[in-house]
C-alpha cells in the first residue's frame, strides 16, 4: 500500500495572508485619501462656540464636537471627489502622484463607494444636529464639489470658492449651537482664508517652476508678481479687519471687555511668520502641515487661542 499523503500545513494560510495584506493595503490607502492631516481646517466650527462664550456649556461643547466630526467626514468626501477628478493630472505631479488614487493603490470604484457612504453618514449626522446645520453642510459639499469640477479652472474664483468653504465652516459652527454668527467673524475668516489660499498658489508656482501650467491649468493664469500684489492687499485687510473687530464698540459691549486688542500682535506675527516661510523657506504649499510642524507658528496660534479664552472667560 502506498504511504498516506501528508497534508502541507504551511500552504494553507498562504492565500488568506495575501488577502489580508491586500485588505490592509486598501484600508491604509483609503485612510490616506481621507486626508486626516487636513482635518485641522475644520476647527473653525469651534469659533462660534468660543466667541459666543459657550465653552462652559457642556451640551453646546458636545454639539460643536459632533459638528466638527461631521465636517471632517464631509471634507474627506470632497477630497475623494477631488482626487478622482484630478487623478490624471496628479500622476504628472512630483508629489501628488503619490496619492493613493493617482498611484493606483486605491481603485476608483472603492473611492466612489467610500465617498457615498461617508456622505450619507455625515448628512444623517448633520440632520440629527439640526436642519439649519444640515443645510449649511449640503451647501458646503455642493460648493466644494463644484470647485473640483468647474471653479478650480476659473481664475480668482478658484481661490474665492475655497475661502468661502472656510466661511461655511464658521457659519456651520454657529448654527449648530443656535447662536448668531458675527459679520466680523465671517469677514476675518474670509480674508484669512484668502491669504492662505493665495499663498498656497504662490508656493505651488514657485515649486513647479515652468511646469506649473502642465500640472494645473489654472496656475498659468497666475504669476508670483500678481499673487504678491493680491497677498499684500489681503494681508493688510486681514490685520485691519481683525484689529477693528477687537475695538468695535459692539464687540466690546457684547464681551464686556476692551482687552481683545491685546491679541492683535499674535495675529500680526502669525501672518508675518507665514509670509517668511513662503518667501524665505519656499514653503506654504501645505498650510495644514505647516501649522503642526512649524513650532513658532504653532506656538503663536496656541498663545492667541489661550489669550482669547483668558480674556473672554477669565
pLDDT one-digit tens code per residue, 89-136: 778 777 778 889 988 899 999 999 999 999 999 999 999 999 999 999
Instruction: Indicate if 188 and 313 belong to the same structural domain.
Output: yes
What are the grid coordinates assigned to 68, written together?
466638527
What average pLDDT score do residues 257-282 get? 93
pLDDT above 80 for 2: no
Instruction: Indicate if 165 and 199 belong to the same structural domain.
Output: no
Whether 206 contacts 222, CB under 8 Å: no
Lowest average pLDDT, out of 20-29, 47-56, 96-105, 219-228, goes to 20-29
Instruction: Indicate if 239 and 208 belong to the same structural domain.
Output: yes
**Residue 285 has what pLDDT?**
67
Label residue 106 left, alpha or beta by phi (over 0 means left) and psi (-120 to 50 means alpha).
beta
The last residue of one of the domains, among 157, 179, 201, is 179
5 lies in some domain: no
Neighbours of 67 (CB within 10 A): 29
Write out the H or E segment, with its range, that includes residue 287.
helix 287-293
Instruction: Indicate if 126 and 209 belong to the same structural domain.
Output: no
Higher pLDDT among residues 122 and 279, named by residue: 122
**Residue 212 has what pLDDT?**
64
pLDDT above 90 for 280: no
Percent of residues, the chain, with pLDDT higher than 90: 67
Instruction: Indicate if 46 and 168 belong to the same structural domain.
Output: yes
Neighbours of 120 (CB within 10 A): 12
112 lies in some domain: yes
Instruction: Indicate if 146 and 269 belong to the same structural domain.
Output: no
Residue 260 — very low, low, confident or very high, per pLDDT cuts 50/70/90? Answer: very high
Instruction: Indicate if 302 and 274 belong to the same structural domain.
Output: yes
281 lies in some domain: yes
Instruction: Indicate if 239 and 302 belong to the same structural domain.
Output: yes
Instruction: Indicate if 203 and 306 belong to the same structural domain.
Output: yes
Instruction: Indicate if 187 and 173 belong to the same structural domain.
Output: no
What average pLDDT score do residues 41-57 get? 94
What average pLDDT score do residues 271-275 get? 94
123 lies in some domain: yes
**Residue 210 has what pLDDT?**
66
Instruction: Indicate if 38 and 70 belong to the same structural domain.
Output: yes
The last residue of one of the domains, among 130, 148, 179, is 179
What average pLDDT score do residues 79-83 get? 94
Instruction: Indicate if 158 and 191 belong to the same structural domain.
Output: no
Grouping H, G, I as helix, E, B as strand and the rest as coil, residue 265 is helix
Whether 141 contacts 115, CB under 8 Å: no
208 lies in some domain: yes
In terms of C-beta distances under 8 Å and separation of at least 24 residues, what long-range contacts does 14-19 make, across chains too? none
**Residue 13 has what pLDDT?**
44
**Residue 283 has what pLDDT?**
76
The last residue of one of the domains, among 128, 147, 179, is 179
For the chain, how many structural domains are there in total? 2
**Residue 6 has what pLDDT?**
46
For 54, the domain range is: 33-179
What average pLDDT score do residues 44-65 get? 95
Q: Please, what is the average pLDDT of the chain?
A: 88
285 lies in some domain: yes
What does the alpha-carbon distance between residue 64 and residue 98 come to, in Å, rounded to a whole number? 34
**Residue 97 has what pLDDT?**
82
77 lies in some domain: yes
pLDDT tens figures, 161-212 = 999 999 999 999 999 999 988 888 899 999 999 999 999 889 888 887 767 6
269 lies in some domain: yes
Q: Give the residue carrying C-alpha cell 512649524.
A: 294
**Residue 9 has what pLDDT?**
44
Amino acid at each position: 500500500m502506498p504511504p498516506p499523503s501528508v497534508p502541507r500545513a504551511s500552504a494553507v494560510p498562504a492565500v488568506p495572508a495575501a488577502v489580508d495584506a491586500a485588505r490592509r493595503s486598501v484600508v491604509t490607502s483609503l485612510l490616506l485619501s481621507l486626508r486626516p492631516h487636513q482635518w485641522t481646517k475644520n476647527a473653525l466650527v469651534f469659533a462660534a462656540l468660543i466667541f459666543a462664550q459657550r465653552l462652559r456649556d457642556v451640551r453646546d461643547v458636545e454639539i460643536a464636537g459632533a459638528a466638527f466630526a461631521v465636517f471632517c467626514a464631509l471634507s474627506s468626501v470632497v477630497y475623494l471627489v477631488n482626487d478622482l477628478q484630478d487623478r490624471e493630472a496628479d500622476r504628472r505631479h512630483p508629489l501628488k502622484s503619490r496619492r493613493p488614487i493617482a498611484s493606483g493603490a486605491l481603485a476608483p470604484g472603492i473611492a466612489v463607494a467610500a465617498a457615498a457612504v461617508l456622505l450619507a453618514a455625515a448628512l444623517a449626522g448633520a440632520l440629527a444636529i439640526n436642519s439649519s446645520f444640515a443645510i449649511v453642510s449640503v451647501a458646503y459639499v455642493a460648493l466644494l464639489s463644484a470647485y473640483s469640477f468647474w471653479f478650480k479652472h476659473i481664475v480668482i474664483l478658484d481661490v474665492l470658492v475655497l475661502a468661502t468653504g472656510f466661511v461655511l465652516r464658521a457659519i456651520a459652527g454657529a448654527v449648530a449651537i443656535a447662536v448668531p454668527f458675527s459679520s466680523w467673524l465671517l469677514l476675518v475668516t474670509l480674508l484669512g482664508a484668502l491669504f492662505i489660499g493665495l499663498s498656497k498658489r504662490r508656493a505651488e508656482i514657485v515649486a513647479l517652476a515652468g511646469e506649473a501650467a502642465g500640472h494645473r491649468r489654472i496656475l498659468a493664469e497666475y504669476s508670483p508678481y500678481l499673487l504678491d500684489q493680491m497677498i499684500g492687499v489681503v494681508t493688510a485687510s486681514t490685520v485691519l479687519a481683525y484689529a477693528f473687530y477687537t475695538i468695535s464698540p459692539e464687540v466690546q459691549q457684547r464681551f464686556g471687555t476692551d482687552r481683545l486688542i491685546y491679541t492683535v500682535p499674535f495675529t500680526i506675527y502669525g501672518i508675518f511668520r507665514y509670509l517668511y516661510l513662503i518667501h524665505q523657506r519656499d514653503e506654504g504649499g501645505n498650510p495644514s502641515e505647516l501649522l503642526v510642524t512649524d513650532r513658532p507658528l504653532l506656538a503663536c496660534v496656541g498663545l492667541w487661542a489661550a489669550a482669547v479664552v483668558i480674556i473672554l472667560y477669565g
